[in-house]
Amino acid sequence: KYKQSSLLAFFNAK
């Protein structure tokens, strides 16, 4: 029912 999101969608990789 729910899909797990990734942190990479929110924070920028250096």
Give contact residues for other proteins (rule: CB under 8 A).
Answer: 1-14
Identify the DSSP state of 11: S
For the bound state, the minimum distance from the C-beta of residue 8 to other proteins, rounded and expressed in Å, comes to 5
For the bound state, the minimum distance from the C-beta of residue 7 to other proteins, rounded and expressed in Å, comes to 5
CA distance 5 to 12: 15
For the bound state, the minimum distance from the C-beta of residue 1 to other proteins, rounded and expressed in Å, comes to 6
CA distance 5 to 11: 12
